[in-house]
Each structure stands twice: as structure tokens, then as C-alpha cells.
Amino acid sequence: MTVVAPRRTASEVTLRPMGDGDVDAVRALDALVQPTPWSEDFLRGQLADPDGRTLLVAEGADGTPVGHAALVVVADEGHVTSIAVDPALQRHGIGATLLAALCRDARDRGLTAMTLEVRTSNEAAIALYRRFGFAPAGVRPGYYTDPDGTTADALVMWVHDVDDPAFLRAIGEDRS
């Protein structure tokens, strides 16, 4: 007999700031979706700078982390450095929920634009970013290096004018 676990949707997750106690779970999630996950030292270093970074965890009703996201502030711009969702729960709105939260944070910080890099082969992520108004701006050849030594190109995407009504609608903040 096969038992199918219920699938979580974005409405069933809670977003909260990442803390030291989340490092192992975030690394485990990264290992499921990234060829080269962030190191423990790197994550702890990110946590040490809350004024210049936003790190979020999406957790299910049982408290289990099912995704995470990170934003770094560079001058008046935000750089999305990571969005990761448990592969078993992808395409249920959790990534969009995380991205919307980072976008709201960028707007609340008074940032004027946001950028990110994504593997050129990651069509699902590119489609998600486009929904939020991110547009391709170039390619970084060989940006990603995998453990086997192969490289992959990154598509650089930007969204400008984060106070634009279209952007605010995309992140669920339209106040008109």
C-alpha cells in the first residue's frame, strides 16, 4: 500500500526570520536543490549582518523548514542571493511567497531596484521571476561551478522602480 503525504501549499507555510538554529535545516534544503550548497560558516556570517541582509525560512504547520530565501542590500539595491524550496513542494507557491516577502522587504528598506542570477537552464525559476517583473539584463558565462568541475551560465535579471504600481500588484501590495 502506498501512502501519499498531503502536499503543502503557500497558504500552509509561515515565513519567519532565519536564526542560528535553522542553519542545518537550510543547508539540508540547499543540498536537495543546489549542486554546491552554502557552507555553515557562510550562513552564520550572513546571519551576523541583519542590517544588510534579510534571511527568511518558510516552515510548514509542523515547524519543518520547507524553503528559505535571502536578500543582500548593496547601496540602494537588493540582491536576491537565494530562494530554495524542498523539491517535493515546488510549484505550490512557496517560492513565490518567499520572493514576494523579499520584494516587500526591499521596498520597506527604500531600495530602488532588485537583481538576481539564475541558471539559464532553470526555466521554472525564470518564469517565476518574470511574473514579478524581473527582466533579463545579460548572461554571466560560467558563473556556476558544480562539484564535478562543469560550469553553467547565469541569467542576470533586474527589476527597477520597486514602487511602480505593477510591481506592487505583483507582490500583493497594490494600494490603489
* pLDDT of 105 over the 70 cut: yes
Question: Which comes out higher in pLDDT, residue 43 or 7?
Answer: 43
Q: What is the pLDDT of residue 3?
A: 31
* pLDDT of 55 over the 50 cut: yes
**What count of other Cβ atoms lies within 10 Å of the Cβ of residue 136?**
14
Among the listed residues 129, 143, 144, 173, the single catalytic one is 129
Q: What is the mean pLDDT of residues 43-62?
A: 92
Q: What is the pLDDT of residue 102?
A: 95
Q: What is the pLDDT of residue 146?
A: 83
* pLDDT of 2 over the 80 cut: no
Q: What is the mean pLDDT of residues 139-167?
A: 88
Q: What is the pTM of this model?
A: 0.88
Residue 77 bears catalytic tag = no
Q: What is the pLDDT of residue 174?
A: 60
* pLDDT of 155 over the 50 cut: yes
* pLDDT of 175 over the 80 cut: no
For the chain, percent of residues with pLDDT exceeding 70: 92
Among the listed residues 12, 40, 59, 117, the single catalytic one is 117
* pLDDT of 1 over the 60 cut: no
Joined together, the cell numbers standing for residue 51 give 542590517
Distance of CA 42 to the CA centre of its chain: 16
Residue 144 bears catalytic tag = no
Distance of CA 99 to the CA centre of its chain: 6
For the chain, percent of residues with pLDDT exceeding 90: 64
Q: What is the pLDDT of residue 11?
A: 62
Which residue segments constitute the domains of the chain, with CATH numbers given? 10-170 (3.40.630.30)
Q: Where does the pLDDT of residue 166 fall: very low under 50, low under 70, confident under 90, or very high at 90 and above?
A: confident
State whether the Cα torsion 20-98-139-164 is positive or negative: negative
**What count of other Cβ atoms lies within 10 Å of the Cβ of residue 154?**
19
